[in-house]
């Protein structure tokens, strides 16, 4: 079973899930205000990521892989500060992560590309 959450752009989805509880979730998140500074764009991107994960039946504790795309790699340390606060102190929740520099849409300073596992029904119930 494949589920797709569309985006305004043609030819792509913002989130795709495959296989239900035993499957995977792929999503992308970025800022909504391209005129905002870097720290605010990170905050907005993490907020969007959280919403996409919840909508697809996943959570930040179920991230498997994260690709952080920055328009300026010099912002990596600033990203790390917010990332570490957001992901939490427990290594069992930390995904594999890569951070690199690339061009993005004009004004966009960061984009997050994620693969996550869904939260099982048992975990949703707190069992």
Per-residue pLDDT tens for 51-75?
A: 999 999 999 999 999 999 999 999 9
**Fold for the domain defined by 2-124:** 60s Ribosomal Protein L30; Chain: A; (3.30.1330)
Query: 2-38 pLDDT, tens per residue?
Result: 888 888 878 888 888 888 667 899 999 999 999 999 9
DSSP state of 57: T
- pTM over cut 0.85: yes
Residues 6+ apart with CB under 8 A from 24: 17, 18, 64, 115, 116, 117, 118
Report the distance separating Cα 41 and Cα 88, nearest Å.
19
Place of tokens 């797709």: 4
Residue 17 CA: distances (Å) to CA of 54, 67, 82, 83: 12, 18, 26, 24
């Amino acid at each position: 079973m494949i589920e797709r959450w569309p985006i305004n752009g043609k030819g792509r989805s913002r989130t795709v899930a495959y296989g239900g509880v035993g499957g995977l979730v792929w999503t992308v998140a970025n800022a909504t205000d391209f005129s905002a500074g870097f720290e605010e764009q990170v905050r907005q991107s993490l907020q969007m990521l959280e919403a996409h994960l919840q909508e697809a039946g996943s959570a930040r504790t179920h991230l498997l892989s994260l690709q952080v795309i920055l328009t300026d790699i010099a912002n990596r340390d600033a990203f790390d500060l917010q990332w570490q606060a957001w992901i939490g102190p427990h290594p069992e929740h930390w995904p594999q992560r890569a951070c690199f520099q690339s061009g993005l849409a004009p004004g966009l300073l960061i984009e997050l590309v994620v693969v996550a596992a869904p939260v099982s029904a048992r975990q949703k119930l707190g069992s």
